[in-house]
Chains A and B, each alone.
Chain A
Amino acid sequence: MMFAGLSRNDKLLFAGFTIAALAMPLLAWPVGANYPDLLQKFAIYGIFAIGFNILFGLTGYLSFGHAAFLGVGSYAAVWMFKGVTMNVIPAVIFGVLVSGMFAALIGFISLRRSGIYFSILTLAFAQMSYNLAYSVLTPITNGETGLQLSQDDARVLDRMFTEQTAGLPSTNLFGLEMSGYPGFYFCCVLLIIAFFIALRIQRSPFGMMLRAIKTNQVRMNYTGFNTRPYALTAFIISGMYAGLAGSLLAVTDPLAGAERMQWTASGEVVLMTILGGAGTLIGPILGAGLIKYFENIFSSYNDGLLAESFSFLPDFLNDTLVFVIGPFVGEGWSLLLGIVFMAIVIFLPGGLMEGLARIHGWYRRRGQGDTGRNVAKQAAE
């Protein structure tokens, strides 16, 4: 039933994706990214980007405020940890639901406009949420300190079954602690489910309507479709994906701060989606993984480390290289990201997926060229 109606290619795509996701520790090993904390980030931001792509890539609405849903998901999950139980399932469900409701509200208002006005509205809402989290909503968000666990949290359900321990409890899945690889695999399974749902949406009549809205909203209206609820549904779904990602961030590290809602975080998911390829299924996940991977590498570099890695070079070359590359690493990593992003938008507007498609097409043409020559040769003989 689960796979009913999906084409052979889609089933293969899903199978391939599942295997790749589960084998991520192995796949990431050659590039030295095979530790759970980073892998977890790949999975979480992959979910975030898949959801964002449903709104931006499929429906054509560019939201600049999706970090707000990420933040709301985190806060909701931490509240669940504080109030009810350290089990991650209720926290994740609560995070998804709350951000879904939040998305319904913001989407309802923002979707009254489209194009740049929609983007500005979402940006304004996200910045508003960010500032509210710092100020008026301090009772809920704990302001600048951020929301975190404490000894005197209620944790009603946990108290009923277990004695309170001396230290702070850790997040768990029915007793299995959500740190290290179990934590990663929890996120990984959710990534696979998130991918599967996105695949089903993309292949469904609903997904077809979303793509049609992106292409020609006027025609949709004169064709008898009420486009607003379609766009709103897409907005809510992508908000729920963001909420899921946010609650998973809280699962791996049970604290939530307002900086998660800042506009830079909203911009990051836009970069991920465009870098990988907006509108494709795999692209956004690829973009998320790459950005998180390179962020991890480059932001940890500094001039000293650079000088060390070029120490085999003569001094003057070493100094020049450090001078040239220095501004692009560590704090300056976003400078590098910006340049790469500009290059992608200018030369490869379809993102990495377009790049792969071009390479594939090039190989196929070359292959066909060969067979063409063979046929000609046979004909000549």
Chain B
Amino acid sequence: MAILEVNDVNKAFGGLKALNAVNLSVEEGTVHAIIGPNGAGKSTLLNCFVGRLIPDTGSVMFNGQSLLGIKPHQINQTGVARVFQTPEIFTDLSILENVMIPAFAKVDGAFRINAWKTVGTRGEVRDMAEKVLEEVGLHEKRDIIASSLSRGDKRRLEMAMCLVQDPKLLLLDEPTAGMSRADTNNTVDLLQRVGTHITKIVIEHDMHVVFSLADHISVLAQGTVIAGGKPEEIKGNPKVQEAYLGGAHA
């Protein structure tokens, strides 16, 4: 069953057509990679899923509900979480607080004034956060301030912040960008180990990462999906080699 249906989505910035009649269908429980050369419209497409951008035409349906025109926090509340290209974390707060905050969003909803009880009395939220921190391997560091983490750890933290909400769909925008080989391998390992039931969309440049994670690959070039299929099909597709590899080396 498709959890996300993208139908004929167009988006133009002035004269530049960033997305041109994009169609995409993401199956529930799979890892769907979106690859393509720089400027192909990958991030634009992702931004259309989380309410940062609104497509000019077309539809984006998540679980049978349209994601267009509703606010980012509402989209998150329907079960879509996002990891950003540069980690968006709460740098002044502790690691544990960083993960407890999304857990509160899951438990208490988008807005609730809860000013008399202390955070300490909400043991269930703390347990949720600690469990995920253990899974991603940040439990030891839970009391330190997030800004002092390494880049790789910041990403893992952001991943934990998304995983704690147990989303139905997890969007990962270049989760290994700028990482060392070792950190990249750790991230791949983490994604294969944790939250395996969660449907994921991964934008990625690193082909090693793409081929180790993806069940399905869509290739985007100049705002259009030029190919889609299983990793082995994509590998041998001459159109992809021309647009992607050829384009990248030109």
A interface residues (Cβ-Cβ under 8 A, vs B): 4-7, 200-201, 203-209, 211-212, 214-216, 218-227, 229-230, 233
Contact = CB atoms under 8 A, between A and B. Distances in A.
B106 interface: yes
A226 B110 contact: yes
19 contacts: A5-B118, A7-B120, A203-B119, A205-B122, A206-B112, A206-B114, A211-B93, A212-B90, A212-B93, A215-B92, A216-B90, A216-B91, A221-B72, A223-B105, A224-B102, A224-B165, A225-B105, A227-B73, A233-B113
B111 A222 contact: no
Interface residues of B, number: 40
Contacts of B111: 225-226, 229-230
B193 interface: no
A7 B125 CA distance: 18
B101 A223 contact: yes
B182 interface: no
Interface string B196-234: 000000000000000000000000000000000000000
B161 A223 contact: yes
B93 A203 contact: no
Contact of A207 (B90, B100, B115, B125): B115
Contacts of A7: 118, 120
B117 A204 contact: yes
Given A203-B120, A206-B114, A218 B90 contact: no
B115 A200 contact: yes
Nearest to A211: B93
Given A209-B104, A219-B88, A222-B82, A204 B71 contact: no
Nearest to B52: A222
Interface in B91-138: 91-93, 97, 100-102, 104-106, 108-122, 125
A381 B115 CA distance: 56
A4 B161 contact: no
B92 A211 contact: yes
Given A211-B92, A223-B102, A224-B105, A204 B119 contact: yes
Given A215-B93, A222-B72, A224-B165, A204 B114 contact: yes
Nearest to B97: A208
A205 B73 CA distance: 18
B50 interface: yes
Contacts of A218: 88
Interface string B75-98: 011000110100011111100010
Interface of B: 50, 71-73, 76-77, 81-82, 84, 88-93, 97, 100-102, 104-106, 108-122, 125, 161, 165
Given A200-B118, A221-B71, A205 B104 contact: yes
Chain A, interface SS category: helix
B192 to A, nearest CB: 24
Given A212-B93, A215-B93, A216-B88, A224 B114 contact: no
Contact of A206 (B77, B89, B115): B115
B110 A200 contact: no
Given A221-B73, A224-B106, A225-B105, A205 B90 contact: no
Task: Give the interface centre of B101, B110, B113, B120 by most chain A CB atoms within 10 Å.
Answer: B101
Nearest to B91: A215
User: Sorted from nearest, which 10 A-B pairs have the closest CB atoms?
Assistant: A5-B118, A224-B76, A224-B105, A206-B115, A5-B121, A219-B88, A226-B110, A215-B90, A205-B114, A221-B72
Contacts of B76: 221-224
A348 B97 CA distance: 26
Given A208-B97, A221-B71, A223-B102, A5 B117 contact: yes
A205 B125 CA distance: 10
Nearest to A197: B115
Task: Give the interface centre of A216, A219, A220 by most chain B CB atoms within 10 Å.
Answer: A219
Nearest to A3: B118
Nearest to A213: B90
A225 B117 CA distance: 19
B90 A219 contact: yes
Nearest to A7: B120
Nearest to B50: A222
Given A5-B117, A212-B93, A215-B93, A224 B88 contact: no
Task: Give the interface centre of A207, A214, A224, A226 by most chain B CB atoms within 10 Å.
Answer: A224
Contacts of B93: 208, 211-212, 215
